[in-house]
Amino acid sequence: MIDPTKDTVLITGAAGAIGTALRVGLRAGWSHLRLTDARPIKDPTPNEQAIVADVGDRAAIEKMMQGVSAVVHLTGVGADYSLEDLFRVNVRGVFDVFESARLAGVQRIVYASSNHAFGCYPIAERVSPELPPRPDSLYGAFKVYGESILRNYFDRHGIRSVSMRIGTYRTLPIDQRSLATWLSPGDVARMVDASLRHPDPGCLIVNGYSANTRIKIADTNWDFLGYKPKDNAEDHIEMLRSKGVDVDGPWEWPEHGGSHARVPERRPR
Ligand SMILES: NC(=O)c1ccc[n+]([C@@H]2O[C@H](COP(=O)([O-])OP(=O)(O)OC[C@H]3O[C@@H](n4cnc5c(N)ncnc54)[C@H](O)[C@@H]3O)[C@@H](O)[C@H]2O)c1
């Protein structure tokens, strides 16, 4: 277990959407948070130390890793970025952060993976993390790469980790699909908090969703992790209806990855 009163937790990608939600959700319970991002990190509180650095700056990453017990690795670019950005941030950046963590003796890594790691499974299949990955895009394939490095670091170096296959992180659900895949700000903080506090998660993969009525995945690992989601996208259905979202019609996307599994993949160069 990582000690919330004594241990330092490094959060990468801390200026982003999920990073900002984690700062709000973890601030009260965690005494030593180190935050990093390429963008400035706004208004650090006394228990937060902010470091502006690009994930490509290996020396800076190694330096900020000193004295850290756990890393929450959120830095990443989305599927709409260039292949070059994906390689630089989601492949090389993941390696440099994980490897710097290993060299610094970090005990635990919590990793922002994605539902696009299994996005090619038909929506009718209740996918659990025990099934083999079926990425729906290069973005999804690179998330699986991050998960498999963590597997190797567990088997070879004993580093404990939790990979969160996040669905749709937003302040509120945004469309029909997110009624199933939404992960709320409060629940992402609860999931990371549970991932850090668990005495021994081994090398765990969990689906990162709220307690949505329309959930279409099966995940026995929530109980093991001690993750107790409190939010449900269904509570926002009237808001979606009022915006003209078709929440009552037939299910829009045939695969778990939604549009990712249907758009033409960008051509590798
Ligand atoms: N939001 C979602 O629905 C969702 C779903 C699945 C997985 N994820 C993953 O969760 C993580 C966080 O997502 P988010 O929604 O907060 O994204 P975000 O874009 O809001 O935050 C990502 C942060 O990474 C930082 N970053 C990007 N490139 C960098 C670089 N070269 N060096 C240093 N920092 C850099 C950005 O400045 C940004 O603050 C990502 O890895 C993403 O792939 C998000």
Q: Whose CA is nearest to atom 5 of ligand 1?
A: 166
**Would 213 be classed as within a structural domain?**
yes
Centre of ligand 1 to C-alpha 156, Å, is: 28
Q: Report how many domains make up the chain.
A: 1
| CATH code assigned at 76 | 3.40.50.720
This prediction has a pTM of: 0.97
pLDDT in tens, 55-90: 999 999 999 999 999 999 999 998 678 889 999 999
**Would 1 be classed as within a structural domain?**
no
180 lines ligand 1 (CB under 6 A): no
Q: What is the pLDDT of residue 269?
A: 53
179 pLDDT higher than 60: yes
Q: What is the pLDDT of residue 118?
A: 97
**Would 2 be classed as within a structural domain?**
no
**Would 108 be classed as within a structural domain?**
yes
User: Domain range for residue 107?
Assistant: 8-261
112 lines ligand 1 (CB under 6 A): yes
Q: What is the pLDDT of residue 265?
A: 61
**Would 32 be classed as within a structural domain?**
yes
Q: Report the alpha-carbon distance of residue 220 to residue 127 in Å, rounded.
A: 11
Q: What is the mean pLDDT of the chain?
A: 95
Q: Report the alpha-carbon distance of residue 35 to residue 93 in Å, rounded.
A: 16
Q: What is the pLDDT of residue 224?
A: 97
**Would 148 be classed as within a structural domain?**
yes
Q: What is the pLDDT of residue 263?
A: 78
CB atoms within 10 A of CB 125: 15
Residues in the chain: 269
Centre of ligand 1 to C-alpha 77, Å, is: 5
204 lines ligand 1 (CB under 6 A): no
**Would 105 be classed as within a structural domain?**
yes
Asked whether the beta carbons of 74 and 195 are under 8 A apart, the reply is no
State how far the alpha carbon of 171 is from the alpha carbons of 11, 145, 215, 241, in Å: 20, 28, 18, 17
Query: Smallest Cα–Cα separation from 214: which of 179, 244, 242?
Result: 179
**Would 159 be classed as within a structural domain?**
yes
Query: Smallest Cα–Cα separation from 219: which of 180, 177, 259?
Result: 180
Mutate to test the pocket of ligand 1, among 86, 145, 165, 166 (most ligand atoms within 8 A of CB): 166
pLDDT in tens, 24-45: 999 999 999 999 999 999 999 9
Verify whether residue 227 is a known catalytic residue.
no
